[in-house]
Amino acid sequence: MRNSSINLDRKPSMHLKRIAAALTLALGLTHGGYGLAAGEAAAKSSGKRPTTQATSEDLLARTVFQALVGEFALQRGDAKLSSDAWTDLAQRTRDPKVLARATEIASLSRQYDRALELTKLWLEVEPDSLKAKQAQSSLLIQSNRLDDLAPKMSALLANDKANIANNLLHLNRILGKITDKKAVQSLIDRVATPYDNLPEAHFAMAQAAANAGDNLRALNETEKALQLRPDWETAALARAQLQAKQSAQTAIDSLSSFVEANPAARDARLALARLLISEKRYDDARGQFDRLLKDNPDNPEVIYPVAMLALQHGDTTTGRKQLEHLLSTEFPDKSTIHFFLGQLDQEQKQTDDALTHYHQVTTGEQYIPARSRTAQILVQLGKINEARDVLHNTRSSSNAERTQLILTESQLLREANRQNDAYIVLEAALTSQPDNLELLYETALTAERIGKPEQLDKHLKHLLELKPDHAHALNALGYSWTERNIRLPEAHALIAKALSLSPEDPFIMDSMGWVLFRQGKLPEALQTLENAYKLKADPEIAAHLGEVLWVSNRKDDARRLLTDAVKANPDNDVLNGAIKKLLP
Q: What pLDDT is attached to residue 153?
A: 79
In the 8-state DSSP scheme, what is residue 390?
H
Residue 240 CB partners (closer than 8 Å, separation 6+): 251, 254, 255, 268, 271, 272, 275
Asked if the model's pLDDT at residue 242 lies above 70, the reply is yes
Task: Give pLDDT tens digits for 296-327.
Answer: 888 898 899 889 888 887 889 989 999 999 99
Residue 274 lies in a domain: no
Residue 231 lies in a domain: no
* Predicted TM-score (pTM) of this structure: 0.61
Residue 38 belongs to domain spanning? 8-143
Q: What pLDDT is attached to residue 4?
A: 35
Residue 277 lies in a domain: no
Q: What pLDDT is attached to residue 12?
A: 40
pLDDT band (50, 70, 90) for residue 46: very low
Q: What pLDDT is attached to residue 312?
A: 81
CA–CA separation, 273 vs 279, rounded Å? 10
Task: Give pLDDT tens digits for 142-160.
Answer: 666 666 677 777 887 888 8
Report, as an integer, the average pLDDT of 185-205: 93
Residue 337 lies in a domain: no
Residue 408 lies in a domain: no
Task: Give pLDDT tens digits for 277-289.
Answer: 888 888 888 889 8
Residue 506 lies in a domain: no
Percentage with pLDDT > 70 across the chain: 86
CA–CA separation, 140 vs 143, rounded Å? 5
Residue 525 lies in a domain: no
Q: Which amino acid is at 502?
A: S
498 and 508 Cβ atoms separated by less than 8 Å: yes
In the 8-state DSSP scheme, what is residue 469?
T
In the 8-state DSSP scheme, what is residue 10?
S
The total number of structural domains that make up the chain: 1
Burial group, residue 272, by CB count within 10 angstroms (0-12, 13-18, 19+):
buried
Q: What is the DSSP string of 280-296?
A: T-HHHHHHHHHHHHHHS
Residue 96 lies in a domain: yes
Q: Which amino acid is at 87?
A: T
Task: Please tell me the least confidently modeled range out of 25-34, 96-105, 108-117, 543-552.
Answer: 25-34
Asked if the model's pLDDT at residue 403 lies above 50, the reply is yes
572 and 540 Cβ atoms separated by less than 8 Å: yes
Q: What pLDDT is attached to residue 506?
A: 96
Q: Which amino acid is at 413?
A: L
Task: Give pLDDT tens digits for 108-140.
Answer: 777 777 777 777 777 787 887 778 777 766 666
In the 8-state DSSP scheme, what is residue 52?
P
> Domain holding 85: CATH number?
1.25.40
Going by C-alpha positions, the residue among 538, 547, 541, 536 that lies closest to residue 579 is 547
Report, as an integer, the average pLDDT of 425-429: 96
In the 8-state DSSP scheme, what is residue 49?
P
Directed axis angle between helix 199-211 and helix 233-244, to 10°?
30
Would you tell me how many other CB atoms lie within 10 Å of the CB of residue 385?
A: 10
104 and 75 Cβ atoms separated by less than 8 Å: no
Percentage with pLDDT > 90 across the chain: 57
Task: Please tell me the least confidently modeled range out of 53-62, 260-269, 509-518.
Answer: 53-62
186 and 214 Cβ atoms separated by less than 8 Å: no
Asked if the model's pLDDT at residue 52 lies above 60, the reply is no
Q: Helix (H) and strand (E) counts for the chain?
A: 34, 0
Report, as an integer, the average pLDDT of 53-77: 67
Report, as an integer, the average pLDDT of 188-210: 94
